[in-house]
Amino acid sequence: MQNDTPPGTFHTDDTSRKLARWLQQFMAQLPQDQEPPASLPAEHLSHLAIPPGEYHPRFYQQLPDFIMALLRHEPQAASRYAPLLYHLVGCPVCHAAYLDLYDALRVALAVDESQLHTVPLPVGPNVPSTRQLAQLCQLLIMQAEAVLKLARHERRDDSALARSLLQLAIKTGTRINQPALRAEALQDLVRVATGFQEPEPPALYTYAPPLAEAGGARHGKTMRKAASPHPAGPSHEYPAIPLQDRSFIGTITQQGDTLILHLHALDSSLRGRPVTISVPLGSLIEPIQWLGGNPRAIRSTVAVDEQGTLTVPLGHTALRLDNPGDRPLLEVTFMRVEIHPA
């Protein structure tokens, strides 16, 4: 590595640098120009023959741990991840992913985590750009999906690892101030998060913030919290998260530490009946204590009234909708809200 590389990388003398260059040339040329030496067993050559552009989940899923070991100055990182290092030398696809993820993680972790939800982030060279944060979100979600796919293929349970990657993606996404860009960075979050949860029956209504809808940012749809079209309901003098299912409107508000869901114009078949509410990302949001303990099965304690209106407490949290540091996490939490007949 060059002497001007970021902290946590390894520095070598000229002899080692020449060896590294030779190794890189050899590994890059081997798949196209040479046959592997006959003296090496076939099982030792699987990481040498790398078809261009192929995706390698077994190595790709090691990248976050390897990069974190580098950033933490762990002295045995290079030897512990030696097979991954050799693979990165010869695989341009995984090497490019390594560079992107290293850059994003380095700048993202440069800010003290204790400041994420307490004070505005300063503007300076150590603060990651929106592009880097969005890229990191997408890489972490892709990583979680790769972990889940590989675990299913090998018939093992890696849900804890996938969960931690998605939680890191959420934490990173909350630092993107623009809701439309945040929604774009996290657009695959719900799909991947539901990949390791028990399947649910189809929802009668699926609500999402207008800016989080597919294509919302491209079509320029915006909905200010104080000017959203809203049937008779809670006053917009208080902060709220608007939700929309087709032409139907819902709202998340807060009273004290209680998050409350307000629904309007529900189907006539639901009137006089309770419903079950599912928040698919709720299990990833630890600061919220969901009523009943399961965010995917919150049962309303009252029935839908004759006008199709329903108000349901969802859970308790110290997060505040009127706090600019907390609001992004709450907006991510309710990227999707499903209504099921009870």
* Cβ–Cβ < 8 Å for 220, 180: no
Q: What is the mean pLDDT of residues 241-266?
A: 90
Helices of type H across 154-290: 159-173, 179-185, 189-193, 216-219
Q: Give pLDDT tens digits for 99-149.
A: 888 887 777 666 444 444 433 433 444 455 788 788 888 888 988 888 888
pLDDT band at 59 (very low <50, low <70, confident <90, very high): confident
Average pLDDT, the chain: 76
Q: What percent of the chain has pLDDT over 70?
A: 72
- Higher-confidence residue of 96 and 254: namely 254
- Higher-confidence residue of 328 and 44: namely 328
Token duo for residue 80? 């512990």
Per-residue pLDDT, 211: 57
pLDDT band at 295 (very low <50, low <70, confident <90, very high): very high
Least confident of 38-47, 139-148, 237-246: 38-47
Helix (H, G, I), strand (E, B) or coil at 253: strand
Least confident of 143-157, 202-216, 302-316: 202-216
* Cβ–Cβ < 8 Å for 101, 67: yes
Helices of type H across 91-201: 92-108, 130-153, 159-173, 179-185, 189-193
The domain segmentation of the chain, as residue ranges, is 14-189, 201-341
pLDDT band at 12 (very low <50, low <70, confident <90, very high): low
